[in-house]
Amino acid sequence: MIIERISGLSIPSIQESPKSKSPVEEFSSVFGEFIGSVNKDQLNSSEMTKKFISGEGVEIHEVMIAGEKAKTSLELLMEIRNKTIDMYRELTRMSV
Q: Which domain holds residue 56?
A: 23-95
Residue 3 lies in a domain: no
Q: Residues 9-62: pLDDT tens digits?
A: 555 555 555 567 888 888 889 889 999 999 999 999 999 999 999 999 999 999
Whether the model clears a pTM of 0.75, i.e. scores above it, the answer is: no
Residue 54 lies in a domain: yes
Q: 73 burial class (0-12, 13-18, 19+ CB within 10 angstroms)?
A: buried
Residue 18 lies in a domain: no
Residue 6 lies in a domain: no
Residue 77 lies in a domain: yes
- Using DSSP's 3-state secondary structure scheme, residue 33 falls into helix
Residue 82 lies in a domain: yes
Q: What's the DSSP call for residue 19?
A: S
Residue 66 lies in a domain: yes
* Per-residue exposure over 29-57, b if at least 16 CB sit within 10 Å of its own CB, e if not: ebeeebeebbeebbeebeebeeebeeeee
Number of domains in the chain: 1
